[in-house]
Amino acid sequence: MPADADDLVIATPAGLYCPAGDFHVDPWQPVARAVITHGHGDHARPGMGCYYTSAAGLPILQWRLGAQDYRAFDYGEPFALGRTRVSLHPAGHVLGSAQVRIECGGTVWVVSGDYKRQPDPTCAPFAPQSCDVFVTEATFALPVYRWPETAAVARDIVAWREECAARGEAAVLFCYALGKAQRLLAELRAHTDQPALLHGAIAAGVEVYRAAGVELLPTGTVAEQAPRGGGYAGALVLAPPSAAGSPWMRRFRRVQTAFASGWMQVRGNRRRRHVERGFVVSDHADWPALLQSIEQSRARRIIVTHGAGDALVRLLGERGLAAGTFDTRFGSED
Amino acid sequence: MRRFVALYRRLDRSTATSDKRAALVDYFRTAPPADAAWALWLLAGGKIGGAGARIAGSGELLAWIGEVANLPAWLVEECRAHVGDLAETLSLLLDDPAAHDDTPLHVWIEDRLLAVAGQDAAARRELVTGAWAVLDSEQRLVFNKLLTGSLRVGVSQRLVQQALAELGGIDIALIAQRMLGAWQPGPGFLAQLLSPQQTAADRAQPYPFFLASPLEAPAGTLGDIGDWLLEWKWDGIRLQLIRRGAEIALWSRGEERLDGRFPEIEAAARQLPHGCVIDGELLAWPAEAAQPLPFTALQTRIQRRKPGPKVLAQAPARVLAYDLLECEGEDWRARPLHQRRDALQQILAACADPRLQLSPAVAAADWSQAAALRDSARERGVEGLMLKRRSSPYQAGRRRGAWWKWKLDPLSVDAVLLYAQSGSGRRSTLYTDYTFGLWRDDALVPVAKAYSGLSDAEILELDRWIRAHTTERYGPVRAVQPLQVFELGFEVVNRSSRHKSGIAVRFPRVLRWRRDKTAAEADRLETLQALAR
């Protein structure tokens, strides 16, 4: 989409840039001022002069990026950058995730970052913002992606663990270490009180959430529990996807593996990952939620940043909206 | 249908064969026979409806789902390309109903699906979309698979047969034999299948084929060459020729009866003694020729139920006999190969018809001489050598150890990637079906489609490359910049008027990614044409 001279956000080699405010949103190259939507590695990178973040997201950035020049703001609390008035609003993606609302001379742009519309006990729910231009993610922008109720999936996970227990197997559930793991632990609380064991790479993030006051299922770490007798039989273990096929897995002599992700909606993805089970739990908007959010934004122009955007852009175009894409380096992990 | 859907789910989730077998045994032990018979039909790869009794074509299903889900046709097609499986795509595009459907499987199939088969589109659409409205997503997936073809749930024929043999306490060979050919799914068939007694129907059946495995170890590891029978590996159609009573039947390895398609072979078989079953290879081979015609000549005959004199003269058929499975009405499969072959030789000698010949033994003093003979295979019009242990019984299915196929190393060319399409199953959502081209003058001409041969990591890398270098999209197909070179292997190259390139390659596959080569260094079409026969 050709940029207008007065566009509030444009795509540049360093990342999405707001010329009127002279700041970037989730840049991938070092810049002076970076407004960060959330703490995932493809959105929050080291090397920025100054980080603007939601207060709720600050502990995550401190954990991931260490000591930096942070400016933290409550949701909805406006601050001035250049000629613009900026505020952060809940995106419902992970703890502290934010949409960036940018206002300048009566025009409002919202950059969604990653977001979802399903309830999530670990973070504030997505708050729709009216705007002129809505810059949206499109990780799961095809109608085949429609998420099941999370509670039903949590019950399936518990049933699966019980099945594994009956067979003398450990139940290793792969999930991303920031956000997904904590959401699973929070959702599982309603259905079980058996503690889950954590891979080391997940334990740190779980502590950040606990310190922020998010209630999670009790946990232990895998290293702590020596495998006596039954070893890890019947244990639910959360591990990052990178642990799949690694030597770390050898400690579970009898094991079933599963992956918790929106990608598991399609069977081919599950089989490609060589896991026994796929649980559809996503921290991104599904197709109906994308359309709903676009509609609620009341924007007349939609810009899609990453994911399967082509179909969405074409559909919005057919529905009479101005729709285009920004080329970004955000990933499609979930 | 719930019980069958639960079986499907259990099969789909388990990776261990023993778990799958246990799931099958549990199902067949508890399912009502009327349902179990259809489950068996579906697990064995059977379809519902079919030619002349159409329930829904893929075009219709795509159109209907678009109407029901209120999505434009291009978006439905985009989803199908992304998911890689039509039945799954259809099941993902709808929300679940509030109510549960408990209609049994056989009622869904017999009273509903088959009841509308072949009727006008409105009736078929009403049934299908009505089913979508009452079934939950797992049920819809299985229901849609009934419409679109095979279940593909990682269950082999043999696994189903093992489960039934375990359940009925009978020999798996008998189960396998009874399941060959055409049968009607119903409680009667299931009862006969699991009957411990020999039944009259057993007598009309072919035997399951014994299939050789590819030889991967050096031939020298097989021990004394004197223990082995060496034969040419013919490139034709494997078949069983049955002469029982007045009946003559030709069965292909695909378990199809070839009756009427090869009248000259049936005529020759009338001279065989009664109670005789021969395993052999069907080839197109003119009487005066030293070699069989290429496989493409035989292909012209497979589809013709009543070949005319011109076709019969252009591609006359001949059977090269490998083995004798039944002699004087007695099952000889447990006897050693050398005994079976001696008897076969005598029967064919007495019959003395040039259309029924013994597949000759290839003489080699040692394995290095055998290897040299194998190297001559291409000029002889064969695929390589077969190695069969002289003491071996005739087993069922692909069992390793006694029979090996020792094929020629493939021919190869370096070709340029032109188009990509997403795969199916484990490789859906990835671009894994590739079309390759060679140079003719200064243009690239497509010559082969190939699917396999790259590692998972290479597939992922190439998928990313394809997405970033797409020049045009035609539905699910992407044209890419002609930059990447791959070494392709194939068994045979034939001249073909049906292909734009003028040639047809058999069994093409990717041998390796030639990152060291530029597109300009890829082979020319003439190189491949020179290998054609």
What three-state secondary structure class fits B149? coil
Radius of gyration of chain A (CA): 21
Confidence of residue B21 (pLDDT cuts 50, 70, 90): very high
Confidence of residue A229 (pLDDT cuts 50, 70, 90): low
Provide the CB-side half-sphere exposure for B506 (13 A, CA).
17
Structure token pair of residue B10? 């259990």
Indicate whether B257 and B333 sit together in one domain. Answer: yes
**Is the CB of residue A61 less than 8 Å from the CB of residue A36?**
yes
Residue B172 lies in a domain: no
Indicate whether B61 and B139 sit together in one domain. Answer: yes
Of the two residues A85 and B428, the one the predictor is more confident about is A85
Provide the CB-side half-sphere exposure for A232 (13 A, CA).
28
Q: How far apart are CA A272 and CA A263, in angstroms?
A: 11
How many CB atoms sit inside 10 A of residue A215's CB? 11
| Chain A residues close to B82, C-beta within 8 Å | 142, 144, 266, 308
Residue B51 pLDDT > 80, yes or no? no
CA angle in degrees (0–180, nearest 5) for A263-A269-A273: 110
Q: How far apart are CA B522 and CA A85, in angstroms?
A: 58
Q: How far apart are CA A287 and CA A137, in angstroms?
A: 11
| Chain A residues close to B74, C-beta within 8 Å | 314
Confidence of residue B33 (pLDDT cuts 50, 70, 90): very high
Indicate whether B391 and B415 sit together in one domain. Answer: no
| Chain B residues close to A314, C-beta within 8 Å | 74-75
Of the two residues B295 and B209, the one the predictor is more confident about is B209
Min Cα distance B47 → chain A (Å) is 22
CATH of residue B433: 2.40.50.140
Indicate whether B258 and B372 sit together in one domain. Answer: yes
A269-328 residues touching B, CB cutoff 8 A: 269, 271-272, 276-277, 308, 311, 314-315, 318
Q: How far apart are CA A14 and CA A20, in angstroms?
A: 16
Q: Of the candidates B407, B429, B455, which is a domain's last residue?
A: B407
Q: How far apart are CA A314 and CA B471, in angstroms?
A: 18
Structure token pair of residue A44? 């929050």
Pick the range with the lowest mean pLDDT from A77-86, A114-123, B518-527: B518-527
Indicate whether B392 and B432 sit together in one domain. Answer: no
Pick the range with the lowest mean pLDDT from A32-41, A55-64, A141-150, B47-56: B47-56
pLDDT digits (tens, 9 = 90+) for A252-276: 888 999 999 999 999 888 878 888 8
Pick the range with the lowest mean pLDDT from B193-202, B245-254, B293-302: B193-202
CB spacing of A146 vs B92 below 8 angstroms = yes
Residue B439 pLDDT > 70, yes or no? yes
Mean pLDDT in residue range A70-79: 98
Instruction: Kindly list the distances between the CA atom of residue A1 and the CA atoms of A5, A7, A74, A302, A327, in Å, as whole numbers in the listed order.
Output: 13, 11, 33, 10, 10
**Is the CB of residue A155 less than 8 Å from the CB of residue A322?**
no
B236 CB within 8 Å of a chain A CB: no
How many CB atoms sit inside 10 A of residue B44's CB? 18
Residue B425 pLDDT > 70, yes or no? no
Strands A219-221 and A33-35, bridge-based pairing? unpaired
What is the 3 state secondary structure string of B55-106? CCCHHHHHHHHHHHHCCCHHHHHHHHHHHCCHHHHHHHCCCCCCCCCCCCHH
How many CB atoms sit inside 10 A of residue B171's CB? 11
CATH of residue B135: 1.10.3260.10
- What CA dihedral angle connects B459, B462, B463 and B466, to 10 degrees? -160
Locate the chain B residue with the closest alpha carbon to A160: B13
Confidence of residue B385 (pLDDT cuts 50, 70, 90): very high
Confidence of residue A231 (pLDDT cuts 50, 70, 90): confident
Residue B275 lies in a domain: yes
Instruction: Give the pLDDT of residue B171.
Output: 82
Indicate whether B243 and B354 sit together in one domain. Answer: yes
Nearest to A145 by CA among A113, A117, A180: A117
Mean pLDDT in residue range B425-454: 84
Instruction: Break chain B down into helix, strand, coil percent, rounded to 5.
Output: 40, 25, 35
Mean pLDDT in residue range A169-193: 96
Of A63-77, B413-427, B463-477, the range with the highest mean pLDDT is: A63-77
Confidence of residue B200 (pLDDT cuts 50, 70, 90): low
Instruction: Give the pLDDT of residue B426.
Output: 59
The percentage of residues in chain B with a pLDDT greater than 70, rounded to a whole number, is 97
Go through B421-451 and write b for each residue having 16 or more CB atoms within 10 A of its CB, e for each that does not: bbbbebbbbbbbbbbbbbbbeeebbbbbebe
Q: How far apart are CA B111 and CA B372, in angstroms?
A: 61
Structure token pair of residue B417? 């990637």
Structure token pair of residue B386? 């077969």
Confidence of residue B90 (pLDDT cuts 50, 70, 90): very high
Instruction: Give the pLDDT of residue B183.
Output: 82
Instruction: Kindly list the distances between the CA atom of residue B33 and the CA atoms of A148, B24, B37, B188, B311, in Å, as whole numbers in the listed order.
Output: 34, 14, 6, 9, 46
| Long-range residue pairs from A201-207, CB within 8 A, at least 24 positions apart, any chain | A201/A177, A201/A239, A201/A240, A201/A242, A201/A243, A202/A175, A202/A177, A202/A238, A202/A239, A202/A240, A204/A63, A204/A177, A205/A60, A205/A63, A205/A177, A205/A178, A205/A181, A206/A181, A206/A182
**Is the CB of residue B491 less than 8 Å from the CB of residue B507?**
yes
Provide the CB-side half-sphere exposure for B496 (13 A, CA).
19
Residue B41 pLDDT > 60, yes or no? yes
Confidence of residue B428 (pLDDT cuts 50, 70, 90): low
What three-state secondary structure class fits B244? strand
CB under 8 Å to A322, separation ≥6 — which residues? A1, A300, A301, A302
Task: Give the CATH fold of the A150-279 domain.
Answer: Rossmann fold (3.40.50)
B121 CB within 8 Å of a chain A CB: no
Q: Of the candidates B99, B125, B148, which is a domain's last residue?
A: B148
CB spacing of A267 vs B427 below 8 angstroms = no
Given A142, A267, A318, which is nearest B79 (Cβ)?
A142
Confidence of residue B53 (pLDDT cuts 50, 70, 90): confident
Instruction: Give the pLDDT of residue B203.
Output: 62
Residue B200 lies in a domain: no
Q: What residues does B285 pair with on adjacent strands?
A: none
Nearest to B7 by CA among B25, B16, B18: B25
- What CA dihedral angle connects B167, B170, B176 and B182, to 10 degrees? -80
Q: Which helix (H) or strand (E) holds A72?
A: strand A70-73
Instruction: Give the pLDDT of residue B179.
Output: 84
Q: How far apart are CA A187 and CA A239, in angstroms?
A: 17
Confidence of residue B100 (pLDDT cuts 50, 70, 90): confident
CATH of residue B285: 3.30.470.30
Distance of CA A155 to the CA centre of its chain: 22
Of the two residues B177 and A62, the one the predictor is more confident about is A62
Residue A226 pLDDT > 60, yes or no? no
pLDDT digits (tens, 9 = 90+) for B114-154: 999 989 999 999 999 999 999 999 999 999 999 987 787 88
What three-state secondary structure class fits B173? helix
What is the 3 state secondary structure string of B331-356? ECCCCCHHHHHHHHHHHHHHHCCCCE
Task: Give the CATH fold of the A10-144+284-325 domain.
Answer: Metallo-beta-lactamase; Chain A (3.60.15)
Instruction: Kindly list the distances between the CA atom of residue B439 and the CA atoms of A162, B521, B522, in Å, as whole numbers in the listed order.
Output: 59, 10, 7
Instruction: Give the pLDDT of residue B175.
Output: 87
- What CA dihedral angle connects B478, B480, B485 and B489, to 10 degrees? 20
The amino acid at B429: T
- Counting Cβ atoms within 10 Å, is residue B363 exposed (0-12), middle (13-18) or buried (19+)? exposed
B13 CB within 8 Å of a chain A CB: yes
**Is the CB of residue B217 less than 8 Å from the CB of residue B406?**
no
**Is the CB of residue B322 less than 8 Å from the CB of residue B281?**
yes
For residue B368, the enclosing domain spans 210-407
Q: How many domains does chain B have?
A: 3
Q: Of the candidates B349, B382, B407, which is a domain's last residue?
A: B407
Indicate whether B352 and B438 sit together in one domain. Answer: no
Residue B171 lies in a domain: no
Number of helices (H) and strands (E) in chain B: give both, helices first. 21, 21
B74 CB within 8 Å of a chain A CB: yes
Indicate whether B217 and B353 sit together in one domain. Answer: yes
List every span in chain A annotated with CATH 3.60.15.10: 10-144+284-325
Instruction: Give the pLDDT of residue B502.
Output: 83
Confidence of residue B527 (pLDDT cuts 50, 70, 90): confident
Structure token pair of residue B162? 């093992």
The amino acid at B279: D
Q: How far apart are CA A262 and CA A140, in angstroms?
A: 8
Locate the chain A residue with the closest alpha carbon to B427: A268
pLDDT digits (tens, 9 = 90+) for B162-173: 999 999 888 887
pLDDT digits (tens, 9 = 90+) for B336-361: 999 999 999 999 999 999 999 999 99
Structure token pair of residue B441? 């003058």
Residue B424 pLDDT > 80, yes or no? no
Unique residue bearing structure tokens 């090397």: A47
Given A271, A314, A315, which is nearest B426 (Cβ)?
A271
CB under 8 Å to B338, separation ≥6 — which residues? B229, B390, B391
Indicate whether B309 and B215 sit together in one domain. Answer: yes
B490 Rama sector, left if φ>0, alpha if ψ -120 to 50, beta otherwise? beta
Give the phi and the psi of residue A293 in degrees, each rounded to 5: -70, -40
CB spacing of A144 vs B93 below 8 angstroms = yes
B292-351 residues touching A, CB cutoff 8 A: none
Given B12, B88, B95, which is nearest A146 (Cβ)?
B95
CB under 8 Å to B185, separation ≥6 — which residues? B37, B38, B40, B41, B46
The percentage of residues in chain B with a pLDDT greater than 90, rounded to a whole number, is 53
List every span in chain A annotated with CATH 3.40.50: 150-279
Residue A110 pLDDT > 90, yes or no? yes
Q: How far apart are CA A17 and CA A34, in angstroms?
A: 9
Instruction: Give the pLDDT of residue A16.
Output: 96
**Is the CB of residue B239 less than 8 Å from the CB of residue B250?**
yes
ipTM of the complex: 0.93
* CA torsion through residues A37, A43, A45, A47, sign: negative
Indicate whether B394 and B436 sit together in one domain. Answer: no
CB spacing of B15 vs A276 below 8 angstroms = yes
Q: How far apart are CA A100 and CA B86, in angstroms?
A: 39
Pick the range with the lowest mean pLDDT from A124-138, A312-326, B37-51, B74-88: B37-51
**Is the CB of residue B148 less than 8 Å from the CB of residue B61?**
yes
Indicate whether B423 and B364 sit together in one domain. Answer: no
Instruction: Kindly list the distances between the CA atom of residue B292 and the CA atoms of A59, A112, A227, B289, B383, in Å, as whole numbers in the listed order.
Output: 77, 68, 65, 7, 12
